[in-house]
Amino acid sequence: MSDKEIQLATFAGGCFWCMVKPFDTYPGVVKVVSGYTGGHKENPTYAQVTAGLTGHFEAVQITFDPELLSYADLLEMFWRQIDPTDDGGQFADRGSSYKTAIFYHNEQQKEMAEASREKQAERFNMPIATRILPAKKFWPAEDYHQDFYKKNPAHYQAYRRGSGRDAYIASVWEKDEKDE
């Protein structure tokens, strides 16, 4: 695969631990990296980001092959992982570093992200807090954050359940799928 064939998608959906697994197993995803973006500090650390000192979001950067997986499909997966109406963070994680955003890498991604946000506004019938922002430098998080769901499966599962993310996703999307 040449560099011309792969693309990047960058999403902030609250805790980055919870955003890796949903994307990691899809055909066409080359890799998913947890990290920080959108802020002003070079080489931010987890402690600095979560203390609100850098302006960064916790995010995942997905390298994907658009011949196998479309950006539109990635957007749909993203929306199904978050509460797009919450402007204070996501689930148990509160604060600016846990807010949601789509970071676009080109004009086509921007247009697709905006259209997908409009679709979510219709679905939720509430204001959508998820921002659509130009991609900035992405800083990979510390190694212990990478592939957390694989390295610490029991902790990961307990965190997801305890945060309220899984219950929310089930209540919104399972109900929606039954109605279709």
Domains and CATH numbers, the chain: 7-179 (3.30.1060.10)
pLDDT per residue over 91-110, tens digit each? 999 999 999 999 999 999 99
Residues in the chain: 180
Q: Residue 15 catalytic?
A: yes
Exactly one of 8, 12, 15, 33 is catalytic; name it: 15
CA separation for the pair 155, 39 (Å, rounded): 28
Reported pTM: 0.93
CA separation for the pair 26, 142 (Å, rounded): 24
pLDDT per residue over 59-102, tens digit each? 999 999 999 999 999 999 999 999 999 999 999 999 999 999 99
CA separation for the pair 20, 3 (Å, rounded): 22
